[in-house]
Amino acid sequence: MKKIIIPLALVLMATFLSSCSAIEGIFKAGAVTGIIAVIVVIALIIWVISMFRGKS
């Protein structure tokens, strides 16, 4: 019985650890994309405000 459980446990650990690494990469990419999106939106808001101030 122990001969089956140990390899099975190793396979499960390897599977879960690799999937965690993949999810970590996805979240890091999502975080970077979110930061860039926020910077772009703030830049657009500043640009629109400066256009309205220039017309006055």
pLDDT for position 44: 96
Q: Is the pLDDT of residue 37 over 80?
A: yes
Q: Is the pLDDT of residue 19 over 70?
A: no
Q: State how far the Cα of 47 lies from the Cα of 39, in Å rounded to an integer.
A: 12
Give this prediction's pTM: 0.55
Mean pLDDT of the chain: 80
Q: How far is CA 37 from CA 40, 41, 46, in A?
A: 5, 6, 14
Q: Is the pLDDT of residue 41 over 80?
A: yes
